[in-house]
Amino acid sequence: MGYNITADEIREQFSQAMSAMYQQEVPQYGTLLELVADVNLAVLEHNPRLHEQLVNADELARLNVERHGAIRVGTAEELSWLRRMFAVMGMYPVSYYDLSQAGVPVHSTAFRPVDDAALARNPFRIFTSLLRLELIENESLRNKAAAILAKRDIFTPACRQLIELHELNGGFTEPQANAFVQEALETFRWHRHATVDEQTYQALHNEHRLIADVVCFPGCHINHLTPRTLDIDRVQALMPKYGIEPKILIEGPPRRDVPILLRQTSFKALDEPVLFNGEHQGTHTARFGEIEQRGVALTPKGRALYDQLLAEAGTGKDNLTHQLHLQDVFKAFPDSEMLLRKQDLAWFRYRLTPTGEAHRQAIRPGDDPQPLIERGWVVAQPITYEDFLPVSAAGIFQSNLGNETQARSHGNASKAQFEAALGCPVLDEFTLYQEASERSKRRCGLL
């Protein structure tokens, strides 16, 4: 039998199926996709140089399929099964995020592809948070939540069987892959029927809205999907025209000539009808839409400077003031590809030009790429940031909890506990970017 379906193909199929399902569930997300597609088209039309850069860096093809989503789970067992499910799609846990710094009782990782070809094909990521019941102070409520979670199964039996089959055989046939995508989708589908009565829902909700969201439903519904835009300021400005109410602040760094890391904004979570005990009507507010603009990944040195400047800037009450203030503070962050490279602030991928190929034998391991770039032998392309930012994620969480501009506290990280629940260590994002950069240097003979 031919186990001939690649992980990339399964991920691509799954990401499309999720997007189709979420457009049906939350029609505003469909509107957001249209808005982002319109803006991206306009940006490319007006900026032929950017268009060409994206084509050369293999970035344009992935732009229209690119998105991330987010889910929240309740138990270690759910998290470790998700790890196995995402592995089938070539998605691995990268980085640890402590969201308790936002007053949110979860910690998280992002499942995503890690190698160059997989990222270029479809970089679908799922930001995955695990509820930290130990942060619920009320003991009886904590026990109640744990008991409710212990009873549910967020995976279909066929889904579990297919995951085990894949682990056994190391691959899927086409019918198995199709069945897997359909079964996996069920884990993330929205259910209007809560698994608890209204009193229990309210008690958990009063402790923290997020706890009710994680505990009271039969699955871990996808809570947002996020397309990638080339101009987030424009999308933010146009949202109201499309009937979408944006969150107050765009999170992350300011607008720059060379975009760095990740800028994000979202629309507010919708009030949706739910049923308690199969009949009693109520509402639940959890699901929203988000957009992101991605820039170059930063080295540890660049990231330290980013974190420092972001902390210095603080948060603002309205977006215009906040962005102007950010731009002012971020004047301390060099804003040209050459300076970012020279000062070792960002990661780049190196390629030989045809002239460079012709002079390959003149290039020595350890050579400084800069003069070769100036001579036209080598080009350096910014490596796109594929991960998330804890302060921004905190802002996204908070905007949906109704206290967006609240001060951010220190948190209570517990990476070891998270990894124990996950069943493996998370990968280090800096190592992944460094390896990508070094692979490219080696191909050029620079290493």
Binding residues for ligand OOG, per CB under 6 A?
A: 70, 72, 127, 129, 223, 264, 290, 388, 392-393, 396-397
Integer angstrom CA distances of residue 191 from 128, 201, 275, 304, 366: 19, 15, 9, 42, 57
Q: Cα separation of 322 and 183, whole Å?
A: 44
- Is the CB of 226 or the CB of 265 nearer to Ni ion? 226
Give the list of residues 6+ apart from residue 351 with CB closer than 8 angstroms, or none: 378, 379, 381, 440, 443, 444
Give φ, ψ of 274 to 5 degrees. Answer: -130, 165
* CB closer to ligand OOG, 59 vs 290: 290
For 6-105, list the strands marked E by DSSP: 67-73, 92-98
**Which of ligand OOG, Ni ion, none interacts with 388 (beta carbon under 5 to 8 A by kind)?**
ligand OOG
Q: Which of 9, 290, 386, 387 binds Ni ion (CB under 5 A)?
A: 290
Give whichever of 223 and 381 is closer to ligand OOG, judged by the CB atom: 223
Tell me whether residue 127 or residue 188 sits nearer to ligand OOG (CB atom).
127
Cβ proximity to ligand OOG, 92 vs 377, nearer residue: 92
Sequence-distant (≥ 6) Cβ neighbours of residue 394 within 8 angstroms: 99, 101, 102, 104, 408
DSSP string over 8-31: HHHHHHHHHHHHHHHHHH-HHHHH
- Minimum distance between the CB of residue 397 and ligand OOG, rounded to whole angstroms? 5
At 86, list the tokens. 């995402």
Cα 418 to Cα 420: distance, rounded to the nearest angstrom:
5
3-state secondary structure of 378: strand
- What is the nearest approach in angstroms of ligand OOG to the Cβ of residue 233? 18
- Name the residue number minimizing CB distance to ligand OOG: 393
Please, which residue, 100 or 299, has the CB nearer to Ni ion? 100
Q: Measured from the CB of residue 396, what is the shortest distance to ligand OOG in angstroms? A: 4
21 touches 182 (CB < 8 A): no
Binding mask 45-74 for Ni ion (x = CB under 5 A): -------------------------x----
Mark the segment that binds Ni ion (CB under 5 A) among 4-12, 45-53, 221-229, 246-254: 221-229
Q: Please state the closest distance from residue 195 (CB atom) to Ni ion, in A.
A: 25
All residues at 6 or more sequence positions from 51 whose CB lies less than 8 Å from its CB, including other chains: 44, 60
- Enumerate residues 307-366 that contact Ni ion by CB under 5 A: none
CA dist., res. 115 & res. 98, Å (int): 25
Min dist. Cβ of residue 223 to ligand OOG (A): 5
Q: Minimal distance in Å, beta carbon 226 to Ni ion?
A: 5
What does the binding site for Ni ion look like in residue numbers (CB under 5 A)?
70, 226, 290
